[in-house]
Every structure is written in C-alpha cells, then in structure tokens.
A and B are shown apart, each in its own frame.
Chain A
Amino acid sequence: MTISRSGFITMSITMVAILFLFQFSNVAVKYTTRATTNETRKANTKLSAAKTVLEEHLNKKSTYTTAIIGDETSNEVMIAMEWCVYIKREFCRFSSLEEFDDNFSVGCKLLIVTDEMITTPQHNKILKHVADLGIHIIMTQLPDTNILRSSSILRNLLGIREISPETCKTDGVTLYEGFLLGGKTNYRKLKKTIPYLYLKGGTKKYMVGRLKEQKKEKIKNEDLPPIIWRNQYENSFIFGVNWDFFRDHTALGMYTAMWADANNSFIYPVVNAQSFVTESFPYLSDENLGDIKKNYYHTSRSLSTDVLWPDLVSTLSNTGDKLTGMIAPKLEYNNSKNGTLGGSIDYFFRQTEKISGELGISGTQMAGMPFFYKKLEYDKKNLKDRVPNYAFTSFYPGNMPENIYSKYLHKENTILKDIQTLVLPKKDYNHKIISFYDYNTLCLTKTIDGFSHKDREDLYLRSMETALGYSTTVIDFKKVFYPESEKDDWTKLSKDLSRYLTTHWKEFRECFTQTTISEADQKARQFLTIKYVSFRQNDIINLSLTNFDKEADFILTLTNEEVTSVEGGTYKKIEKDRYLITTSHKDVVIHLQATGATEQSN
C-alpha cells in the first residue's frame, strides 16, 4: 500500500499535534508553577493587634455584664477572662464577693466565682441575693463539702438534696449530648474521687460520673453522681461543677455551653478553622539512615517521598484536610555530612502546591542548644538559594526556646523575616489559645496531637470546637525519623492518625472549614477584631457587626428551634439546635421556627 504525499503530511501533522497536546500540560505545569512563591501568603497586616478587641477593651469597671470573682493569678480567673474576650463580653474581675457586691453593675447578667471565694455565710447570702436578682451563677468548682453541708443556702442554690457521707470514685464519666459539640460520649479513663451528691427535681445534668457497681447496686442513671449540672433558682440558673475542668482551657467550651443553655438562643463568634500541621515534615535531608533502613528498608529521603508523603496525602484527602507542612531542612545540625537535598526541595514544594497546601518553617533540631543559631543561618542559606521568592509566614518553634527565635522574628536577612503566625504547643494554662505575640504576629495554639487521642484530650478538643470552632492538629514527624520505640513506627502512627481523623474528629471537620495556617490566621484575626450586637424579636434574630471585613462566622445555639433562612449570610446545621452562620454582610437577619410545634390557633 502506498501513501500519498498529502496523506503523509496529514498523518505527520496529526502525530505532532497529539504529541504536543500530551506534552503541553506537563511543560505548562513546569513553567507556570508557582510552587516556589507562597501564594497563600495574605497581606493581613491591616488586622493587627491594635484593631482587635482584646482584654483591655472589655475590662469595664462599671458597665460589665460578667463578674469574675477570684485571684488574678488563678488559672480559672485568667481562662474566664479569656472566654469573655472571645465572646466579646464586658467583664470585671473582683478579688472577693464583698468587693463585687460593693461595685455591683445593673447590667451584670453572669457571675463566675471560684470555689476559694465561697468560705463564709456572708458569701452565701451574697450569692443568694445575686440569684434572686436573676443573675446566673457559674461556680467553677464546688466549695468544700463541709461548707456545703453547713450551708442550706448553698445547697438550695445548687439544687443539692443530699450529700453522701462517703465520696465515690468514678469509673469514667458520661457527657450527655447537647452540652458540648460532638454528642454523647463515655470517657472510661476519666477517674476521680469526688463527693457523691443527690440533686433535687428541677435540675439538669450535663455530665455524670459512672460507677463500677451501678448495676450490682441497682443505681438508676438519675442517681449517678453529677459532675456538671444546672439548678433553677428563682429567676436564675446556678451551674455547679464537681471536677477540676475549669483549671485549664477545657473550661472555654463549658462556659459557652452553660451560657447557651441559660438562654433561649445564643449567638457567638467563632474562628471556624480546622488546621493540620506536620512538624518537621517535609524533611529535606537524608539523616539517621541506619535506623530508617532497619525499620523501613528505605533511605530517609525515599521514605519521605515514597512512603510518608503519599500516605499523608491519601489520609488528608479522605478527610479534606489542608496541609501546612513545617519544613525541616535538616535535623542534625551538628553533622555536616548530610545536607539539604535540592531534589527534595523541588519535589515537596511542587507536591504541596498540587494539594493546595502551605509550607512553613520548623524550629526543631536534634543537635542541642548551641546549634539553634546555626540552624537558622543554615536554613536561610539553603532555602534562599533554592526558593528565594518563597516567604515563610508560619513558624513552629518546636524545641527552639523563645529567647532564640524572638531575636530573629521579623529581622531582615533571616528565615523568620516574614513570619506572621506562630504555632505554639500547649504549654502553660495561662497561655491563651489565640493571642497576639507582638504587634503583627498571631499565636495559634496546638489543640491536638495527631498521634494521640486520650479522653481528656478529646474533652479538651470538644471544648475548643464548641467555644471557638477551632482546632490545630499537629503531628510530629521527628519521632518517625528518630524512633525511640516500636510505638513510633510509621505504620502504627499512620493507622492511628487515619482512625482519629475519620472517627473521633470527623464531625468537626464536616462542621467547620479546613484551612491552612495562613487561612486560620486570617480567620482568627477577623475573629478577634469583630464586634457584634444581637437581639431577638419573636422568631427573628438580628445581628449587627462592626469591624467587619468580607466574612465572619458565628455559632447559633437554639432550643428546639431551627433556622429557616438567613439574610446577609448563609447557614449550616452542625448539630441538633446548633448552626454555623457565615455572614457576608454586616447586618444579618436570621429567621427561626420551632421544630415539631404545630401552629397556634386563636
């Protein structure tokens, strides 16, 4: 068979065109990639600390709506004040109930009092008087049982019918649905010896202790020892807590839940950000080959690119999480043998761009204190050579002390020049969850360790989600590259991570928005900046915002009602009687209707 000339030319052109089409996309990706420039960096310096509503703006001596009784150094007091800042309530701290009584504000709606502030009969009378006025009271911890036994006023306020002479050791606790986000949960590992109280009718329990001998002694659920409850007294609610939850930030969500329960409807701002951070990953070197090869039959580099990265991306794609990777160019800065691999830099930057992730810088290193300065220099040099246009805006200090990185923040010619967000571990109880490190730099606190899920951690997470709609999950890859035991094997760790993401934390990922750290930073700044006023008229809630910029998120809690429409925003049901309202306008109108209630006829 012969081919004519024109036929040959036609076939050739067709083949070239097909080749071009197939290769064009790859070539285009290579030349149009912006992996080496940080596209997620936002110019957010306009939302600096000066524009946010912080503690000093809300601390009002005469017009406060929330009174906090306690010592200023007390964790409970600091966390209470932090909560007031988050929900924009004007507050005032008093050292004693007497001082509060002398400086009473007519606008006061809530009284938070620590247990050590209730010691004398006079205190009890003040509390009774406050309750008579219709002011809700939260007791962050029960007073001593001797005080309770001796004071019928206190017992009446708390709705305590009887106090058992013996204490009881709980065999776990049950958190009932409707209090914190996440529904009903049994915590088997939360065990503590607490006073055994019996409550009167008219009380409502949110959390109770479980008893091992419940079935044997035929104890009804209603008679289990209460841990968190509410009693109605005259026109107010008194909340009692028979545990030490309020000594850490677990209290944040509980404050929100209690205040929501005391009101028919309650709307409050939230961050609405779920972040996922990998510490010391991407890892750009090839160290500790001995252990890595022994465990995984890979080099560190190939382990990173061929095992860890695909596993991680696959896990995150199931849950829709966005990755913020804190780069570790090296970990052993005392060993110059293995340097940062250029191929790894190219690879991870491109891969991160593909999954719409973000890269920050990690402060962790294995060599010890003197090498932190060397690390910063080394990282700057290597990364600047390879990705000169990439501005690192987020930084995870890891084991780098603050006195070191604080000197380099925002300094020219340093790797930390452009840092806007610090992701800090949960260290001290007085360390705020979201706060400003300096004028421009925002601190976000890690809320979960991605490889761990204990009962107390779960409760803490639920509290954060309830109070702020915020979580930052951090997984530390240092233990993968430098395993200390069999528990640090990646197979086990990835299985745990996948399990936690797709079960225990799944609900929150579905409710709230997945973000990178930069996006979470934006939302957190907006959260701290915004001011709002809401009022309800029949079935309509009006919400007016100031300092509003494009978008803000709120959680609306109702009781047996549902949202039918929102003007000036959108809504999403996150749980029964709880809605996430995303506003796009500074004036929002929310329409409600009762669930299941029939029309009323005249």
Chain B
Amino acid sequence: MSMEITTILEMIQVFFAYAFLVLLAPYIVLKARLQTRTLYQKFIICVLVGNFYMVNVVFAMFILHIPSRISLYFLSIVPAAIAWYKINHPDVKGFILSIYTSITRLFLDEVKIGTLWLNLTTEPKRRIKAAIRGCASHIFHHFLEWGMLFGLLAFNVYYYGYQTFVRYSYGTSDMVVHHYWVNQLAEGNIFCNGIYPFGFHNVLYFIHDFFDIQIISIFRVFGMIETLYIYAMIYVLLRKICRSRYIPIIGVLIFTLPNLFETQGIMRYQFTLPQEFGMIFLYPCAYFLIEFFQRKKEEIAIEKELRGQSKLYTWLALYHIRPSTWSLIFFAMSFSLTLSAHFYITIVTFILCFAVAAAYFPVVFHYRYFCSIAVAGILSLFSAIAPMAVFFAGGTPLQGSLGWALGVISSSSEKAEAPEQDKKLEKYKVNEGDGFVVYDLTDAPDSLLDPSASAPPAGTAGQTTARPQPSLLERMEKIANGLQKKIVSFNDKLTANINSVYIQEDFITFLLYGMEGMIGACALLTLIRRKFYYRNLLSMALYLFFIIMLYSSADFSLPSPMDQNRSRIFAAYAAPVFCGVLLDLGYAILFRPLRYHRLTEFFPIAAGVAMTFLIITNDFIKPLSLEFAIQSTGEMYCNYDIMKNYPEKKWTIVSSTDSLQLILHKGWHQEVCTFLGKMHNMNADTTVTIPTKYVFFYIEKYPIQYGASNNVSEDFLNLGYVSEEDAAMPAIYEGSAAYGIENRKTLESKLFFWAKAFEEKYPQEFQVYYENDTFICYRIIQNEYNLYNFAIDYTYN
C-alpha cells in the first residue's frame, strides 16, 4: 500500500478515534444534561469533558502505578458508565426485564425468533432513525452554514495535511522528543525527562492504547486533526459573542484562506505539538467566562424577583446546580487543560481572561462574581498542578525546558531598560530617597520635558523668555494634537513590530485602528447601553491589544514572558476573532432597527462569498506552509514498510537518530556514527556485528540539510550528492559534534561507500531494499547463529 493511501487511512482512523473520545462518548454520557444546549454548545462541552477526562484518567493510572491497557479500559469505561447511569437514568431494570421476558416467551413458544428480534430492535432502530433524521434535518435547515464551514475545514485539511501527505516525515525536530515521551508512557514511565505539562502526551497515549493505533501514525496526522478543532473554536467563540450566525464563519475564513499572516505564525499547526494542542482550550476559557457573566446576571435577576415575591425557597429549589456554576466548572476545566498542555497557553489564557475581566469592569469585582471566579481559578490550578505536584513530591525533578522558560521570563524582566527620559534626567538628579528622586531642572532645556519643542537656538542658552498663558481651547487643541501624535507614533511603532505577524500593511492598519476604535466605541456603548454584548466585543478588542503588546513588549520595555516566535502565533490567532467581532459590531449597529431579522444574514453571507471570490480571483490564497528537514521521505517509507512486514524485534535499522523513537517498540536502532565509528581505524581483529536477523541501512544519497526550512511543496534542502571527497574527510563519531551538518554529509558519504564495498563482498545477500532519487536502503538477512562482520576496509576508514 502506498504511503499516500496509508496516510489517508491514518487520518481517517485517528480522526474518528479522537472524535469518538471527545465528541461521541461524552455526548452519550452527558446526553440528558445537553438536551437544552445548541449544537455548538454541545460541541465545546464534549470536547472539554472528553479531553479533561482522558488527561486525568491517565494521570490517575500512573499515580496508582497501574499503567496497562486493562487498567486504562477499566478506569475509562467504568466511571463513564456509572456517570452515564447517574445522569441519564436509563431504565436498565426495564431493559433487562424485557430481554428476560422475550427469551422466556421464546422458550414457551409464544413468539417466534423473528418477532422477538423485531421487538428488541424496534427501539434502537427508532433511535437511530431519529438521530439520522435529526442530523439530516439540521444539515438541511442549516445547509449553507454547514457547507461553508465544511468547505473551510476541508481546505484546512488540505493545507495542514499536505506536509504529512507528501513528505511523510515529521516536519520539526520537537516532535521526535514528544514521541519519545509518549513512548515512555507506553512503557510505563511518566515524566521520564522531568515534570512537564503532560496533558497532550496523555491524550495521545490514551488514543494509542485504547484503540491500539501506532504512536507514529498518531503523531503524523494528529497535527492536522487538532488544527480542525482549533479553527472550530474560533467559530464557537464568535457564535457565542456575535449576533450574526454567519459572521463567525467569516472569522474562520479570515484565518483560513487569505495570505494575511506570516508563515511562522501559522506553520506550527501542521505539526503535532503540545502548545498547539493547548490552543484548543484557549477560547473555551473566554467562552465560559462570558457565559458565566451572562448566566450570573440572569440568576441574580431571577433571585431578586423571587425574593421580591417572598419565594426564597422557590429560588433555592430552582437549580440543583446553577447554570453559572456549570459555566465556571467548564471554565475551570478549560483553564486546567491549558495548564496541562503547555504553560505558554496558560500565560495567554491569563491575558485573555484579564481582557474579559477588564471589559467586565467593575462587574467582575462584585463579590458574587469575583468569589466564584477566584474559586474556579484556584480549583482549576489545583487540578492541573496536583498530578505534577504528586510526582514532584515523589522525587521527579522539573524538566529542563521549564527551567529555561522560567529563565526567559526572569531575564526578560531584568533586561527591562530604564526609559529614555530617565537617562536624560540623570545628570539633573540632586537627591534620591526611598521611593522618590529629586531633580533640579533650572538649567534643563524645554526639549527635555517636551520632545516636540525644539532646542533653544545657539547663543540663547540660559536666557529665559516670557510667554503668554494659552487659552483653554488652545490647550485642548494642544492636548488633542499631542494625543494624536502619540497615537500615530504608537501605531507606527506597533506597525513596525507586528509586520512580522500580519504581512499585509493594509490589514495591520485595519487591525490597529479598528482595535483602537472598537475599544473606544465599545467602552462608550457599554456606558450608554449597559449591555454585556458590548463588553464581550470590548474584551476581544482588549485581548488583541494585549497580545500585540505581548509581542512587542521588548520594544516598549515591558516584561516579556514569551519568546516572539511563540507570541506571534497567538497574535495571529487573535486576529480572526477580533475581525469577527468588529464586523459584528457593524452588523449590530446597522441592523438593530430590523431586529436582526434572518434576512439581514444575507449581508454577512454576501460578504463572506465576496471575500472568498476576491481572494481566489486575485490569487490571494495563502501559500503552502514551511517545514523543517528532519527525515527524508524514503526513510519514513522504509520505517512503515519494515514495521509492517517484518517480525517485531527481529530487525535493526542503521540510520540517523530521528528514526529511533519512531520504531522503538518494533525493532532496534543503531546510529550511523556509532556504526561507522566502530570500524574507524580498524585492524584485522575489529568486529562489528548486529545481532538481529534483518539489518537495514538507511543512506541519504543527498544528505538533507537538517533543520533547514523550506516550502512543503519543494524537496528538502540538501547538502549535495555524497562524494569520495566527503567520504575522505575526517568524521566525528561521538559527542554532540557528531550531529553537525557537515559531519552528517561526511558520515552519509562514508556509509554510502561502505555499502558499495560490502555489496561487493556479499552481492547476493546485501540487496537494495528501497531506492529513490535521494535515498537508498539496503537489507541483509543474517544467520543469527553466525553473524556477518560488518567491519571491512572500505578505503575511507
């Protein structure tokens, strides 16, 4: 089977496996609770519950020291079954009784087997038919929405799945490390390299162990699948906020189709990485926080009304668990999941929540709101940190990159420079106290305090000039001019910064001025109309502002808790939400008199279609992404073929390092540098053996330029064809220097000529297993009782 077909099948397999775990299974368990919810609300709740459940089941399994497939099945199925029973209250007794009665009647010959079968299957058939009818009806009635959304998601499948489909291999070296950690989970070791947010790894391990899908298959395709959920969350959040049903689709469209974003800001979605996985849970935090405010407001109003009618007990008995509490529970889950996935997501979630809180000022500080949010936040932190704390208490150290991240945060705050103004005032400092500094500015030029003021002409220093007092209008004009200049200067500075996030200048202008205008307008509208709707819009504008400031923090001498390469991703991800809410503000203002009649949706639909048309006809579709050269396509092809066709643990591959984790549980691996190093400066007694029946040698005829990035539609960058000159160069066989780029070419050249020499000695036995233009794999089948000695003189050793 070709790799392309294999990739498609894997995509389908992993997609449905993940969808089962995070959509279908939670829906079945929570069906009774979700009945009053809309489809997109069901979607977001199921995704949260499903992921939260998987992450914590795996943690529980390892805390109890019982990692195995059976315990995974037990810990996942049994509690879910109990929860299903408790929530849905199925008539299990009645069901068993009906089965018993039917069988009894069968044996008493009162019914035939056909009748019995009909009776037993009537209800399930009815339910299935109802479900199908419901789905079909929903799709029919929302055909346009479904069609547009699926079209966009299909494009994302193509865009983010292209690299996997065409190049087969992992596109970034981080994936190999995470694959290693998931391998270790499969072997029963959690936090093998130290404490690290393991939510992502837990989920992948769960999918692997529950469905017995190879880890390599999951890693290759999960990046594309999680990206679909990331994009879906844009739609879900905008559906929550926006009045229009179709503007959220425009938001997804903006992030999907046009070439607006720097490639570095969107390329990581094609890779299976924890930060991107955590982004699924970023917008649900805002979603449920907003929902909490709305519901709390409704509850307060209802309570007030009932108290006014002296119906306190009615109020107390109205809810078993209040809807606002449910919102907080889901908020806590999603916040906890961000912490479990990646700390950067948590930082951005803080910023997002802060933006929402700022937009809900001063409501958020009301004790009814604040206490609930605080408790939810503490509980979510606890649920995320507790498993890590348990293992930390057990002696597992922190993982290296955590220390690095903390170092980045602390060093960035140390590096914050004193403002330029303070430097200029330094020479006028006369006294410095505890918390204050005294300057004598008698001789200081005006330009020191007012940079727009010109320096006094030469020869006039020390002269004082008496000026007349300006009028109020002049002062206001002056302030306005100054403000305008500051805003323009500020925007220019921001533009200069963020043009490495948004590559179109017009788009940057639109964003910045739109954001500033929206902040002002929404703040004003909030004061005037006191609707939470405008607060929601304001929160998204503030969020964009904060994220842009996070990205530009270095230039504004602000603390920088995140590397620009990472914050760029969040800045890009914030733009479609902002664009959506901005468009919705216009929609809300324009069509309020029409009470947002459904016919008004024509305009957003038309806008979306027009945008799509313009993007396509003006060739403005974003180009295919970049990837890093990690492995050649031939290497991944051979890995798959060998794992499929050869018995486990009976083969060894001699290749560069990246295949090690990919084949870990199936076969053995030896590095090229180790293999060649053993026969370097060999003598007659040198023996190099590999004790497996099958041995495969991976040789890059064009050694790839490891780590270099290029477009996914082009071949990997390479170092040129292997040559005798390169083979003759001295090579480094151990230490980190062995993995340098130039050494890679030397080693591959040496291995190439070793293979040629060995083929002469064993022309029948040493055969080409696979070959393409850039890669060749040799295979030899050994007698395990009498191994071949691979140490031969091939001239370059």
List residues 560-602 of chain A with CB under 8 A from any CB of chain B: 560, 594, 596-598, 600-602
List residues 656-687 of chain B with CB under 8 A from any CB of chain A: 684-687
Asked whether B779 is an interface residue with its Cβ less than 8 Å from the other chain, the reply is yes
CA distance A88 to B308 in the complex (A): 115
Asked whether B734 is an interface residue with its Cβ less than 8 Å from the other chain, the reply is no
* B786 near A222: Cβ-Cβ < 8 Å: yes
Given contacts A161-B684, A598-B770, A600-B770, contact A232 B781 (CB under 8 A): no
Asked whether B419 is an interface residue with its Cβ less than 8 Å from the other chain, the reply is no
* Across-interface contacts of A597 in B (CB, < 8 A): 767-770, 779
Q: Given B641, B764, B765, B789, which contacts A598 in the complex, CB threshold below 8 Å?
A: B641
Q: Given A184, A205, A261, A602, which contacts B764 in the complex, CB threshold below 8 Å?
A: A261
Q: Give B787's nearest chain A residue, CB to CB.
A: A222
Contacting chain A: which of B34-42, B43-51, B755-763?
B755-763
* Across-interface contacts of A600 in B (CB, < 8 A): 768, 770-772
List residues 192-208 of chain A with CB under 8 A from any CB of chain B: 200-205, 208
Interface string of A165-194 (1 = CB under 8 A from B): 000000000101110000010000000000
Given contacts A161-B684, A232-B760, contact A594 B786 (CB under 8 A): no
* A596 near B645: Cβ-Cβ < 8 Å: yes
Interface string of B783-797 (1 = CB under 8 A from A): 101111111100000
B644 CB, nearest partner CB in chain A, Å: 10
* Across-interface contacts of B689 in A (CB, < 8 A): 222
* Across-interface contacts of B789 in A (CB, < 8 A): 200-203, 222
Asked whether B753 is an interface residue with its Cβ less than 8 Å from the other chain, the reply is no
Asked whether B637 is an interface residue with its Cβ less than 8 Å from the other chain, the reply is yes
Interface string of B679-706 (1 = CB under 8 A from A): 0000011111100000000000000000
* A201 near B790: Cβ-Cβ < 8 Å: yes
Q: Give B689's nearest chain A residue, CB to CB.
A: A222
Asked whether A559 is an interface residue with its Cβ less than 8 Å from the other chain, the reply is yes
* Across-interface contacts of B772 in A (CB, < 8 A): 600-602
Asked whether B439 is an interface residue with its Cβ less than 8 Å from the other chain, the reply is no
B166 CB, nearest partner CB in chain A, Å: 13
* A264 near B786: Cβ-Cβ < 8 Å: no
* Across-interface contacts of A261 in B (CB, < 8 A): 764
* A204 near B788: Cβ-Cβ < 8 Å: yes
Q: For this complex, into which size category does the number of interface residues on chain A fall?
A: 20 to 34
Task: Find the residue from B684, B760, B771, B786 having the highest chain A CB count within 10 A.
Answer: B786
* A560 near B767: Cβ-Cβ < 8 Å: yes
Asked whether B646 is an interface residue with its Cβ less than 8 Å from the other chain, the reply is yes
CA distance A232 to B789 in the complex (A): 13
Asked whether B506 is an interface residue with its Cβ less than 8 Å from the other chain, the reply is no
* B765 near A559: Cβ-Cβ < 8 Å: yes
* B762 near A204: Cβ-Cβ < 8 Å: yes
* B684 near A596: Cβ-Cβ < 8 Å: no
Main secondary structure of the interface of B (DSSP, over half): loop
CA distance A25 to B274 in the complex (A): 84
Q: For this complex, into which size category does the number of interface residues on chain B fall?
A: 35 or more
* Across-interface contacts of B762 in A (CB, < 8 A): 202, 204, 232
Asked whether B474 is an interface residue with its Cβ less than 8 Å from the other chain, the reply is no
CA distance A485 to B786 in the complex (A): 44
* B764 near A264: Cβ-Cβ < 8 Å: yes
B698 CB, nearest partner CB in chain A, Å: 13
Main secondary structure of the interface of A (DSSP, over half): loop
Given contacts A174-B785, A177-B783, contact A200 B684 (CB under 8 A): yes
Asked whether B443 is an interface residue with its Cβ less than 8 Å from the other chain, the reply is no
* B785 near A184: Cβ-Cβ < 8 Å: yes
* B763 near A202: Cβ-Cβ < 8 Å: no
CA distance A168 to B760 in the complex (A): 32
Q: Given A162, A201, A560, which contacts B781 in the complex, CB threshold below 8 Å?
A: A560
* B767 near A201: Cβ-Cβ < 8 Å: no
* Across-interface contacts of A601 in B (CB, < 8 A): 771-772
* Across-interface contacts of B768 in A (CB, < 8 A): 597, 600
Q: Give B780's nearest chain A residue, CB to CB.
A: A560
* B763 near A264: Cβ-Cβ < 8 Å: yes
* Across-interface contacts of A594 in B (CB, < 8 A): 767
* A222 near B687: Cβ-Cβ < 8 Å: yes
* Across-interface contacts of B790 in A (CB, < 8 A): 201
Asked whether B434 is an interface residue with its Cβ less than 8 Å from the other chain, the reply is no
Asked whether B773 is an interface residue with its Cβ less than 8 Å from the other chain, the reply is yes
CA distance A588 to B787 in the complex (A): 37
* B684 near A162: Cβ-Cβ < 8 Å: yes
B780 CB, nearest partner CB in chain A, Å: 9
Asked whether A334 is an interface residue with its Cβ less than 8 Å from the other chain, the reply is no
* B786 near A221: Cβ-Cβ < 8 Å: yes
Given contacts A204-B762, A598-B637, contact A178 B783 (CB under 8 A): yes
CA distance A201 to B754 in the complex (A): 13
A559 CB, nearest partner CB in chain B, Å: 4
Given contacts A204-B788, A560-B781, A597-B779, contact A602 B770 (CB under 8 A): no
B677 CB, nearest partner CB in chain A, Å: 16
B144 CB, nearest partner CB in chain A, Å: 43
CA distance A315 to B707 in the complex (A): 70
Q: Given B769, B787, B792, which contacts A202 in the complex, CB threshold below 8 Å?
A: B792
Q: Give A232's nearest chain B residue, CB to CB.
A: B761
Interface string of B617-656 (1 = CB under 8 A from A): 0000000000000000000011001000110000000000
A157 CB, nearest partner CB in chain B, Å: 14
CA distance A601 to B768 in the complex (A): 13
* Across-interface contacts of A560 in B (CB, < 8 A): 764-765, 767, 779, 781
* B788 near A221: Cβ-Cβ < 8 Å: no
* Across-interface contacts of B769 in A (CB, < 8 A): 596-598
Q: Given B646, B763, B785, which contacts A596 in the complex, CB threshold below 8 Å?
A: B646
CA distance A208 to B789 in the complex (A): 16
* A559 near B785: Cβ-Cβ < 8 Å: no
CA distance A174 to B786 in the complex (A): 10
Q: Give A161's nearest chain B residue, CB to CB.
A: B684
CA distance A161 to B638 in the complex (A): 36
* Across-interface contacts of B758 in A (CB, < 8 A): 202
* Across-interface contacts of A161 in B (CB, < 8 A): 684-685
B524 CB, nearest partner CB in chain A, Å: 64
* B783 near A201: Cβ-Cβ < 8 Å: no
Given contacts A596-B769, A598-B641, A598-B769, contact A559 B786 (CB under 8 A): no
List residues 94-122 of chain A with CB under 8 A from any CB of chain B: none
B436 CB, nearest partner CB in chain A, Å: 76
CA distance A162 to B685 in the complex (A): 9
* B786 near A176: Cβ-Cβ < 8 Å: yes
Q: Give B792's nearest chain A residue, CB to CB.
A: A201
CA distance A601 to B4 in the complex (A): 14
* Across-interface contacts of A201 in B (CB, < 8 A): 686-688, 761, 788-792
CA distance A165 to B537 in the complex (A): 93
* Across-interface contacts of B792 in A (CB, < 8 A): 201-202
Q: Give A599's nearest chain B residue, CB to CB.
A: B770
* B760 near A596: Cβ-Cβ < 8 Å: no
Q: Give B776's nearest chain A residue, CB to CB.
A: A600
B554 CB, nearest partner CB in chain A, Å: 48
* A221 near B787: Cβ-Cβ < 8 Å: yes
B569 CB, nearest partner CB in chain A, Å: 36
CA distance A184 to B693 in the complex (A): 15
Given contacts A200-B684, A602-B773, contact A596 B786 (CB under 8 A): no
Given contacts A560-B767, A600-B771, contact A221 B781 (CB under 8 A): no
CA distance A602 to B763 in the complex (A): 23
Q: Give A261's nearest chain B residue, CB to CB.
A: B764
CA distance A161 to B685 in the complex (A): 8
CA distance A594 to B641 in the complex (A): 14
B483 CB, nearest partner CB in chain A, Å: 65
A residues at B contact (CB < 8 Å): 161-162, 174, 176-178, 184, 200-205, 208, 221-222, 232, 261, 263-264, 559-560, 594, 596-598, 600-602
Write 5 A-B pairs (CB below 8 A) sorted by A numbering. Answer: A201-B791, A205-B786, A221-B787, A222-B687, A222-B787
Please name the 5 residue pairs, one residue from A and one from B, whose CB atoms are nearest each other, closest first: A559-B764, A201-B789, A202-B761, A232-B761, A201-B792
Additional A-B contacts beyond A560-B764, A601-B772, A602-B773 (11; CB < 8 A) = A176-B785, A177-B783, A201-B687, A201-B791, A222-B789, A264-B763, A559-B767, A560-B781, A596-B769, A598-B770, A600-B768
